[in-house]
């Protein structure tokens, strides 16, 4: 599917631009431009200090435009950035606004203008999805963070215009044969039961001259991500791989498809939710994020629906640690004696505990440590106690489990659609590069 209606967080995009390495090119290492090795600049230049405005084929991108879009990004990222990082963020925002302008202009040139009513409809849909009420509430929020409804509507216009262009100029000329789909389905069937991974990747290219600077930049990105930054947002702006447009998502793959022994080894040891990097690979550095993993064409046990009883004790303020430990020991012993879920209420009363019933809980919605324990339990058994003196100590007793149905085989039309989307995405990137090459852009 070409069109992607943006969520409010996705509409915000990302946070910072890569640190520019100071590459020294030499003729001995393939200086294709034939530049002298001892450049003498006629003016002082600080690449991190520019006035963030531009004129794109006659359309003015103002400093206010940059400020308001940057405010969206900062709000989406939810982590503070340094002054140095903010400068890079603003430069990245300017590049995004230039691309957005080129996309809108290209659509207008081909009489594919986006009606204002469609923009308003999409804006209202985003507001409803994120605020559950009328668009006015999102208007107020945008203004409160230093952005504006007009800034977000401009971004929506750019996305809708680009989708129109792709549907007319690229999608009709992308073909996937039935033989290609059939061959892929046969490969999937042959690998049934083997492990596959859904990975996110940020790839930064490097030369021997720029390697140190690129590695330092990659380390900064990892640091921001571990502080809560959006992997999708950073991948969109930083990654030089073809998957940057989809937030670095490689989709479901087997490790051999990475075609890199170092990445295969690292990914094989990762757990869902884990971030690793930067990893030095030929040609640059990679940052990997394991979104999930599963077995090919097999039902995922984590999709099982559970019925649970949560049995909990709490501690009055001022309870000594010794007394609390005694109570936890008695609670642990008492839980072992509970004879199934039917006995939970009366046993809890004897232990001075509370019982809460939770039905239709999907295993994957629970913390990973609990997932592994609960999947090993039989009905009527309980987890080991967990918690703290401050928040209370509890166990979860399994009272029912509905396992997921065996996964169906791959869907022919779905696979064909995925292959088409992949090819459309690659051609779209080339299309945008052509628009940039043909544009008249003046920086102020």
- Delimit the CATH 3.10.50.40 region(s) of the chain: 193-294, 301-400
* CATH for the 193-294 domain, from 3.40.50.1820, 3.40.50.620, 3.40.190.10, 3.10.50.40: 3.10.50.40
Q: Report how far residue 271's alpha carbon sits from residue 266's, in angstroms, rounded to the nearest whole number.
A: 10
Instruction: Quickly state the pLDDT bin for 6 (edges 50, 70, 90).
Output: very low
- Delimit the CATH 1.10.4030.10 region(s) of the chain: 48-191+407-443
Give yes or no for residue 266 having a pLDDT over 80: yes
State the average pLDDT over residues 401-416: 73
What is the predicted pLDDT for the residue at 298? Answer: 65
**Nearest alpha-carbon partner for 443 in 34, 19, 63, 8:** 63
Q: Report how far residue 260's alpha carbon sits from residue 73's, in angstroms, rounded to the nearest whole number.
A: 33
Give yes or no for residue 318 having a pLDDT over 80: yes
Give yes or no for residue 254 having a pLDDT over 50: yes
Pairing of strands 386-388, 284-295: unpaired
Give yes or no for residue 19 having a pLDDT over 80: no
State the average pLDDT over residues 5-13: 39
Count how many Cα atoms sit within 13 Å of the Cα of residue 319 in the half-sphere of its side chain. 17
Give yes or no for residue 16 having a pLDDT over 50: no
Q: What is the dihedral of CA 145, 147, 149, 150, to 10 degrees?
A: 180
State the average pLDDT over residues 90-116: 89
Instruction: Quickly state the pLDDT bin for 78 (edges 50, 70, 90).
Output: low
**Cβ atoms of 61 and 54 closer than 8 Å:** yes
Q: For the chain, what is the mean pLDDT? A: 80
Domain 301-400 fold is: Chitinase A; domain 3 (3.10.50)
In this prediction the pTM is 0.56
What is the predicted pLDDT for the residue at 103? Answer: 93
Q: Report how far residue 296's alpha carbon sits from residue 23's, in angstroms, rounded to the nearest whole number.
A: 44
Instruction: Quickly state the pLDDT bin for 3 (edges 50, 70, 90).
Output: very low
**Nearest alpha-carbon partner for 60 in 16, 36, 94, 18:** 94
- Domain 48-191+407-443 sits in CATH at 1.10.4030.10
pLDDT tens column, 139-174: 888 999 899 999 999 999 998 999 899 999 988 888
What is the predicted pLDDT for the residue at 304? Answer: 85
Give yes or no for residue 5 having a pLDDT over 80: no
pLDDT tens column, 319-348: 888 888 888 888 888 888 888 888 888 888
């Amino acid at each position: 599917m070409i069109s992607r209606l943006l969520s409010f967080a996705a509409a915000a995009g990302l946070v910072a631009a890569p640190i520019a390495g100071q590459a020294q090119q030499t003729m001995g290492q393939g200086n294709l431009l034939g530049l002298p090795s001892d450049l003498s600049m006629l003016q002082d230049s600080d690449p991190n200090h520019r006035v963030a405005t531009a004129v794109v084929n006659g359309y003015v991108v103002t400093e206010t435009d940059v400020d308001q879009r940057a405010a969206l990004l900062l709000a989406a990222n939810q982590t503070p950035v340094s002054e140095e990082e903010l400068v890079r963020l603003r430069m990245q925002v300017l590049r995004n606004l230039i691309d957005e302008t080129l996309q809108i202009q290209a659509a207008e040139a081909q009489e594919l203008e986006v009606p204002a009513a469609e923009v308003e409809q999409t804006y209202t849909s985003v507001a409803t999805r994120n605020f559950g009420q009328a668009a006015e509430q999102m208007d107020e929020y945008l203004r409160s963070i230093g952005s504006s409804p007009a800034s977000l509507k401009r971004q929506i216009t750019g996305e809708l215009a680009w989708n129109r262009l792709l549907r007319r100029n690229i999608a009709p000329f992308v073909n996937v044969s039935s033989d290609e789909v059939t061959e892929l389905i046969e490969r999937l069937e042959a690998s049934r039961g083997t492990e596959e991974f859904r990975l996110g990747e940020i790839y930064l290219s490097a030369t021997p001259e720029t390697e140190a600077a690129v590695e330092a930049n990659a380390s900064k990105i990892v640091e921001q991500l571990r502080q809560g930054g959006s992997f999708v947002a950073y991948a969109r702006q930083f990654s030089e791989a073809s998957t940057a447009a989809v937030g670095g998502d490689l989709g479901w793959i087997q490790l051999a498809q990475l075609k890199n022994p170092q990445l295969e080894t690292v990914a094989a040891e990762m757990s869902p939710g884990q971030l690793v990097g930067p990893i030095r690979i030929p040609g640059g550095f990679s940052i990997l994020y394991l979104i999930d993993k599963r077995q090919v064409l097999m039902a995922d046990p984590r999709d099982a629906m559970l019925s649970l009883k949560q049995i909990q004790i709490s501690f009055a303020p001022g309870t000594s640690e010794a007394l609390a430990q005694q109570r936890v020991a008695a609670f642990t012993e008492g839980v072992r004696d509970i004879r199934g879920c039917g006995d939970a209420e009366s046993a809890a009363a004897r232990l001075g505990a509370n019982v809460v019933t939770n039905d239709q809980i999907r295993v994957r919605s629970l913390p990973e440590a609990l997932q592994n324990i609960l999947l090993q339990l039989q009905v009527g058994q309980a987890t080991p106690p967990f918690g703290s003196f401050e928040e209370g100590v509890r166990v979860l007793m399994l009272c029912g489990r509905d396992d997921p149905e065996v996964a169906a085989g791959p869907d022919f039309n779905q696979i064909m659609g995925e292959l088409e989307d992949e090819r459309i995405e690659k051609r779209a990137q080339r299309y945008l590069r052509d628009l940039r090459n043909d544009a008249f852009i003046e920086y102020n």
